[in-house]
Structure 1
Amino acid sequence: MGMIREKLRIKNQIIKDMLGEFLGTFFLVTFAVAASAQYVLTDLSSFLTLNFANGMGLVFGIYAAGGVSGASLNPSVSIALCLSGFIPWYKYPFYTVAQIAGAFTAAAVQYGVNYDMLNAYDGGNRTTYGPTATAGIFSTFPNPKVSTLNCFFDQVFGTFILAICILCILDKRNFMPLDKGLIPLSMGGIVFAIGTCWAGNCGYAINPARDLGPRLFTAVAGWGIEPFSYRNWQWFWIPIVGPMCGSTLAYIIYQLFIELHWTPLEPEPVDAIVVTANGTKEKSMELIGVDNHAFKSSKDDELDLATKL
């Protein structure tokens, strides 16, 4: 058994990161789509439980992948984390591909889980708008009363709130939770709060992968081109471009208002025992995190990647 585990163990860090982002995003979107299906197809759900499920999906997604990839689970959040130095830029396209694939797979699985209820609801006629529309179970669509421009600013602002709160939580010099196990709960609380405050305009996608992955699935699973051509092709790009702008703005604002004004930290020393050549033990000073992968620079990661490839 140990030999099989050793054979299956992946040593390439970027592949491990992609697997983590895939699984974490799968959890996130599974809860989001399943809650939407319950909300649309049954009388068992409410708007409050829908938002709660979206928040808990992020919580469990981070628990699943946080120790592997950091679990950004969102291309727009990944941009903010890259700008802040938490994620090396060369990993960004790998993270994005894994996140979209995880979201697509989650939508496909929930389509199968809810297949009979979908047929009972729309008679097998998959539509994007109308009284029995079901495309909105999988990806977001705007309120008919809200303009495209308003929706764009909604996505910019919603993702700005998400990303800047994440930066606050991850900043060790700010009120970072003392126990890292509380970080996922904090993140989930942000999504729950955003959903209860700003879902009315266009469903608070605030995540290009969460929206695009399921939208791609609906396009190939019976809804046709309508999920993309809705509003004369003036909608589908909003949950992609808006969040990217919002997360970049969040990084800039956090830098200008908080990050730039911290007093620079000196390296924190710890005692370490070193055995010298003559066999005596002496104390020396080492920097915390020197041998920890999370503390390596982008160049160190690139060197590791090059040697593993």
Structure 2
Amino acid sequence: MGTKSFLTRARGLLRIRNQLVRECLAELLATFVMMTITLSSAAQKITFFETKGNLLTSYLGGALGVMAGIYVAGGISGAHMNPAFSLAICLIEQFPWWKFPIFVIVQTLGSFISAGAVYILYYDAIWHYSNGTLTAFGPRETASIFVTYPADYVSVANGFLDQVIGTGVLILVVMGLMDTRNKAVPKGLEPVVVALLVLSIECSMGANCGCPLNPARDIGPRLFICLAGWGLEVFSRGNGWWWVPLVAPLLGAAVGTSLYQLFVAFHYPEEDSEVLAEQGSIVLVNTTIEPDIGMSPKEKDTEETVPAGYPPPPCM
């Protein structure tokens, strides 16, 4: 009883009622969880397996990190964890544009903090493997634990196209998973299906440049390791590759969203548009997204608040 009373008092003191702040906190935590699992798997692949040949370890870590992040915050913020996905649902008018830059900053901050946590977690392993030198070049480089680089034979142009296609496929399929008029995913299993999707893309398109698919996943850790001792060479390696994971996934998200709309979503019967909007379909419809707090009928009696339009549709 004492513990319950303490938790009740703590909740009363710490509970945040502002919808935007709640969403940002949830998005920050989801991105942190996803990136911590993703970067930790990369750290093990490089510092322990040394041959860098055990790609499956890294790929599984990335996919399972996505699944964990969605389960952590999917019902609060939608668990975007990726500016490319946030852009995609802005384009289909399922997310307000004014929130887009806020979510991008939060996602980048979550990735930055996660890189710091993984650096601390694998501090001894990183310094042992690198022989005491933090570098982005050479056989003992450790920058690729945190960020992505193209293979030596891949040009910047080819890497850019790789990211446009990879992110386009990712967003296109996620559009189909979100569309209630398409093949429905059993409720509660959406994160598992998205994780399998990410794993399939990494296994089939990861060789060229590590398959970042996410601007926040790359720039947050890159900023951290630049400050933590690797220096500006983390930006110069790969012929100035750093800007590609920022720009190409956003373009790929726009391409994937457009393709799904043009080939699938635009062709549903018009008379079903209102029903689709209520069900959370990604068919492009003119709906008003309330940024403030709303009240559900269930919670009017308890005087607790929930975000308007809660819960959000299953997200990546």
Contact 2:94 2:289 in 1 (8 A): no
Instruction: Provide the C-alpha distance between the structure 1 equivalents of 2:278 and 2:220, rounded to a whole number of angstroms.
Output: 40
Q: CA deviation at 1:267?
A: 4.7
For residue 152 of structure 2, the aligned residue among 132, 144, 149 is: 144
Q: Distance in 2 between matches of 1:303 and 1:202?
A: 42
Other-structure match for 2:314? none
Q: Does residue 250 of structure 2 align to residue 244 of structure 1? A: yes
**Structure number with higher relative contact order (C-alpha < 8 Å, ≥ 6 residues apart):** 2
Q: Distance in 1 between matches of 2:226 and 2:278?
A: 50
| Structure 1 residue 205, shift from structure 2 partner | 0.2
Unaligned runs of 5+ in 2: 1-5, 280-285, 295-306, 308-316
Residue deviations 1:273-309, cap 9 Å, x none? xxxxxxxxxxxxxx968xxxxxx954522687xxx9x
Query: Helix, strand or coil: the match of 1:200?
Result: coil
Aligned 1:1-309 pairs, distance under 5 A: 1=6, 2-43=8-49, 46-179=54-187, 181-232=188-239, 234-264=240-270, 265=272, 267=274, 297-301=287-291
Distance in structure 2 (CA, Å) of the matches to 1:266 and 1:142: 43
Q: Which has the larger radius of gyration?
A: 1
Structure 1 residue runs of 4 or more that deviate by more than 6 Å after TM superposition: none
Percent identical: 37
The SS at the match of 1:222 is helix
Cα distance, 1:49 vs. partner? 2.1
Q: Which runs of 5+ in 1 are unaligned?
A: 269-286, 290-295
In 2 relative to 1, CA 302–145 (structure 1 residues): closer, same or farther, beyond 3 Å? same
Structure-2 change in CA distance of 1:96 and 1:69 (3 Å):
same
How far, CA to CA, are the matches of 2:186 and 2:136 in structure 1? 45
Distance 1:111 1:217 in 2: 10
How far apart are the structure 2 equivalents of 1:235 and 1:248? 21
Give the drift of 1:88: 1.4
Deviation at 1:62, TM superposition (A): 0.3
State the distance in 2 between where 1:288 and 1:57 align.
30
Normalising by structure 2, report the TM-score. 0.84
Mean CA deviation greater in 82-91 or 52-61: 82-91
Task: Identify if the C-alpha distance between structure 1 residues 288 and 203 changes in structure 2 by more than 3 Å, giving closer, same or farther.
Answer: closer
Moved more, 160-169 or 1-10: 1-10
**How far apart are residue 194 of structure 1 and its match?**
0.8
CA RMSD of aligned residues (A): 2.3
Question: Aligned residues, how many?
Answer: 281
Distance 1:244 1:266 in 2: 28
Q: Distance in 1 between matches of 2:138 and 2:88?
A: 37
> How far apart, CA to CA, are the structure 1 residues paired with 2:273 and 2:90?
23
Alpha-carbon distance in structure 1 between the residues aligned to 2:273 and 2:81: 32
